[in-house]
């Protein structure tokens, strides 16, 4: 019994799909855990007390780091989904000679309903509220706490820049247009 040429290609495409879905699942899990870690840091910072202003400088540094990692994972999850929809699905359909039969319909259908933009706006708001707003509040509280040493003012200015860049990138990657 001979194997037709499309079969090995189809098997490779199936393996590629499975590997991509596993990576996507893994990144989604990591991304979601970053939100919980950020919230834990926020609670720990508040519990440590705001009577020691220098502690407030920990929050923007941690939020910027975890927020950036969140953003990178989220961008990869989105890129994997886009690749599956635009590249892998058509190639798989071609090897299966599907002839109009929809392949991987869930990959194509999910997320593209009339409420997608509202969901994306809400997610952007949640991301900003998780990673950016607490950092800005902590920095404002630090700046209003008295006259800190110049080194801490410089550190806080650098943190402000990092958190601002993160906020801009969160907005840019929110993908509100589609």
In 3D space, the residue among 82, 36, 89, 84 whose CA is nearest the CA of residue 175 turns out to be 82
Residue 177 domain-assigned? no
Residue 110: predicted pLDDT: 63
Mean pLDDT of 15-28: 94
Residue 5: predicted pLDDT: 58
- Does the pLDDT value for residue 1 go beyond 60? no
Domain that holds residue 125: 6-172
Mean pLDDT of 116-145: 94
Residue 51: predicted pLDDT: 74
Mean pLDDT of 123-140: 96
- Does the pLDDT value for residue 82 go beyond 80? yes
- Does the pLDDT value for residue 94 go beyond 70? yes
Q: Give buried/exposed letters for 112-143 (b at 16+ CB in 10 A, else e).
A: eeeeeeeebeeebeebbebbbebbbebbeebb
Residue 168 domain-assigned? yes
pTM of the shown model = 0.84
Residue 50: predicted pLDDT: 64
Q: How many domains does the chain have?
A: 1
Helix, strand or coil, per DSSP, at residue 149: coil
């Amino acid at each position: 019994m001979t194997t037709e040429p499309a079969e090995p290609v189809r098997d490779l495409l199936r393996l590629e799909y499975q590997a991509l879905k596993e990576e996507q699942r893994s990144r989604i899990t990591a991304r979601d855990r970053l939100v919980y870690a950020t919230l834990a840091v926020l609670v720990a910072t508040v519990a440590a007390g705001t009577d020691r202003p220098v502690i407030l400088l920990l929050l923007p540094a941690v939020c910027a780091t975890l927020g950036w990692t969140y953003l990178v994972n989220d961008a990869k999850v989105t890129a994997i989904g886009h690749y599956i929809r635009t590249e892998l699905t058509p190639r798989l359909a071609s090897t299966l000679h599907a002839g109009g039969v929809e392949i991987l319909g869930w990959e194509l259908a999910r997320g593209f309903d009339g409420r997608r933009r509202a969901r994306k706006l809400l997610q952007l708001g949640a991301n900003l509220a998780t990673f950016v707003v607490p950092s800005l509040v902590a920095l404002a509280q630090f700046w209003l706490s008295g006259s800190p040493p110049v080194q801490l003012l410089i550190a806080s200015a650098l943190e402000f820049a990092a958190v601002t860049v993160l906020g801009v990138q969160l907005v840019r990657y929110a993908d509100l247009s589609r």
